[in-house]
Amino acid sequence: MKTIIEPFKIKVVEPLELTTPEEREQALRDAHFNVFNLHAHDVLIDLLTDSGTGAMSSLQWAAMMQGDESYAGAESFYRFLHRLEDMTGFTHILPTHQGRASERILFELVGGPGKIVPNNNHFDTTRANIEHSGAEAIDLVIEEGKHAAVRHPFKGNMDVDKLVDLIDRVGPDRIPLCMVTVTNNSGGGQPVSLENLRAVRKVCDGYGIPLFLDACRFAENAYFIKLREAGQGDRSVRDIVRDMFELADGATISAKKDGLVNIGGVLLLRDDALAAQAGALLILTEGFVTYGGVAGRDLEAMAQGFEEVVHEDYLAYRIGSTQYLGERLLEIGYQIVEPPGGHAIYVDAGELCPHIPQELFPGQALVCALYREAGIRSVEIGSLMFGDAAEPPPMELVRLAIPRRVYTQSHIDYVVEAAAHVFEQRHALRGLRLTNDPPYLRHFTAQLEEVTVEAALPAR
Ligand code: F0G
């Protein structure tokens, strides 16, 4: 069968309101051409992020009614704990309110000036927490992972030779841990193979460096391993997930992705002393070790979500639906990061709009066009987002991230149809100029106006 069907039926619906082109034009202007400023009410299909935007199952909602809100030793904590012990094999398991809270605690303990933390590609909050501690964050993804049109089954893999070079150059004492992000969000939602994780583990063992996973999308990564890695096709996703975690000395998890919840996170550790220190920091800012900044009902939702996410019918639909969107966009003529990732499709807007120079944000031009055309909200990952970095980003990307279990296949078809209309108008898209440029993380609050290329760059 070719049709992708959602392996669930709908019990509760949330109405979407259709807007007119005139209403969207007004909303976009009121938002100063920054879709973070839109009221979600004015968005029809929200592909801003897959984080915390998923739909929970009837079993998750039912579990939430059993939430034990005791300050210490709540039953809900023990259900959460046993689920994670069973899934990962870890024994030191701390709940947090989201991924970046786990990152902050970890890097407050192991970071600091002079330290260096390698990763395939650091996600923004991971990098920010490392740098905030005074340490340096370094990206070592394989060369294939840096080129949109190059296909590789495990484009998120770490370049093992470069890792060895780095350790030899700076010395293992300066590297408190090595991280690998599964799947590699900043590199296009691309997976990492078990073989690569084993190779990285071997290098780390040789130098006595702990290996950590940024495991937000561990289940999607495991499913790609099952689909693509030699010898893994007959194994269960559960077993592959277990193998991935057993290779690591620790992990940070945002449960807002593969935990299938709207809020929550986890910090996994093996080292007893480090776990004791992390528990103390958790109490300082998140909460007692048996609730870590979320409610008992949230722990229940996570316990059930981590169970449901490894169901293979779900993963087949999830990965299949993202792939379907990516392949249709390629057919229309878009260049995307190939092959399609797990949670999102990344469109190369620089390639789409060569008439808009980097300084006039071709990615944001595409973001605005998709909203105008059909009320679709996406996000620019290019010069607007990384404008404060020392070097311009290598690509001007637009990410269409797919919330879990929220949109149906016909919603995806609608996105494809809208993208085809926008493709026809690509030569007419206009660049944008900043009218308000905040000093930090400017893409969240910046304001812009549309300009013609000639008017903005008279000197050219
Ligand atoms: N690591 C990765 C790989 C992520 O994608 C994210 C969040 C985090 C860590 C931080 O987790 O948001 O729970 O604090 N990514 C979201 C996104 C925000 O849109 O890609 P958090």
Domains parsed from the chain with CATH numbers: 21-50+311-456 (3.90.1150.10), 58-308 (3.40.640.10)
Atom of ligand 1 nearest to the CA of 100: 14
Distance 186 CA to ligand 1 centre (A): 10
Tell me the best of 46, 107, 125 to mutate to test the pocket of ligand 1, counting ligand atoms within 8 Å of each CB and taking the most. Answer: 125
Q: Whose CA is nearest to atom 16 of ligand 1?
A: 51
Contact 378 CB / ligand 1 (< 6 Å):
no
Is the dihedral angle over the CA atoms 89, 94, 98, 103 positive or is it negative?
negative
Task: Tell me the pairing of strands 379-381 and 136-139.
Answer: unpaired
For position 307, what pLDDT does the model report?
98
For position 441, what pLDDT does the model report?
76
Beta bridge partners of 22: none
Tell me the best of 35, 47, 51, 322 to mutate to test the pocket of ligand 1, counting ligand atoms within 8 Å of each CB and taking the most. Answer: 51
Q: Whose CA is nearest to atom 4 of ligand 1?
A: 123
Beta bridge partners of 136: 116
Q: Whose CA is nearest to atom 10 of ligand 1?
A: 99
Q: Whose CA is nearest to atom 12 of ligand 1?
A: 99
- Sorted by sequence, the CB contacts under 8 Å of residue 118 that are 6+ apart come out as 138, 139, 140, 158, 163, 166, 175, 178, 179
Long-range contacts of 43-46 (CB under 8 A, 24+ apart): 43/371, 43/375, 43/376, 43/377, 44/16, 44/17, 44/18, 44/19, 44/374, 44/375, 44/376, 45/374, 45/375, 45/376, 45/377, 45/407, 45/411, 45/414, 45/415, 46/377, 46/403
Atom of ligand 1 nearest to the CA of 48: 19
pLDDT per residue, tens digit, the chain (460 aa), is 888 899 999 999 999 989 999 999 999 999 999 999 999 999 999 999 999 999 999 999 999 999 999 999 999 999 999 999 999 999 999 999 999 999 999 999 999 999 999 999 999 899 999 999 999 999 999 999 999 999 999 999 999 999 999 999 999 999 999 999 999 998 899 999 999 999 999 999 999 999 999 999 999 999 999 999 999 999 999 999 999 999 999 999 999 999 999 999 999 999 999 999 999 999 999 999 999 999 999 999 999 999 999 999 999 999 999 999 999 999 999 999 999 999 999 999 999 999 999 999 999 999 999 999 999 999 999 999 887 666 778 889 999 999 999 999 999 999 999 999 999 999 999 999 999 998 777 889 999 999 976 666 655 4
Report the C-alpha gap between 213 and 274 in whole angstroms: 16
Q: Whose CA is nearest to atom 15 of ligand 1?
A: 51
For position 460, what pLDDT does the model report?
46
Distances from the Cα of 210 to the Cα of 46, 164, 179, 439, 460, angstroms: 38, 14, 9, 35, 51
Distance 418 CA to ligand 1 centre (A): 27
For position 111, what pLDDT does the model report?
98
Distance 428 CA to ligand 1 centre (A): 34
Atom of ligand 1 nearest to the CA of 184: 3
Long-range contacts of 239-242 (CB under 8 A, 24+ apart): 240/194, 241/87, 241/88, 241/310, 242/87, 242/88, 242/89
Contact 46 CB / ligand 1 (< 6 Å):
no
Q: What type of residue sits at position 215?
A: A
Q: Whose CA is nearest to atom 9 of ligand 1?
A: 99
Contact 431 CB / ligand 1 (< 6 Å):
no
Atom of ligand 1 nearest to the CA of 401: 19
Contact 49 CB / ligand 1 (< 6 Å):
yes
Contact 129 CB / ligand 1 (< 6 Å):
no
For position 447, what pLDDT does the model report?
96
Atom of ligand 1 nearest to the CA of 255: 13
- Sorted by sequence, the CB contacts under 8 Å of residue 174 that are 6+ apart come out as 114, 115, 116
Tell me the best of 36, 213, 257 to mutate to test the pocket of ligand 1, counting ligand atoms within 8 Å of each CB and taking the most. Answer: 257
Contact 51 CB / ligand 1 (< 6 Å):
yes
Contact 98 CB / ligand 1 (< 6 Å):
yes
Report the C-alpha gap between 387 and 366 in whole angstroms: 17
Distance 126 CA to ligand 1 centre (A): 8
Report the C-alpha gap between 175 and 208 in whole angstroms: 10
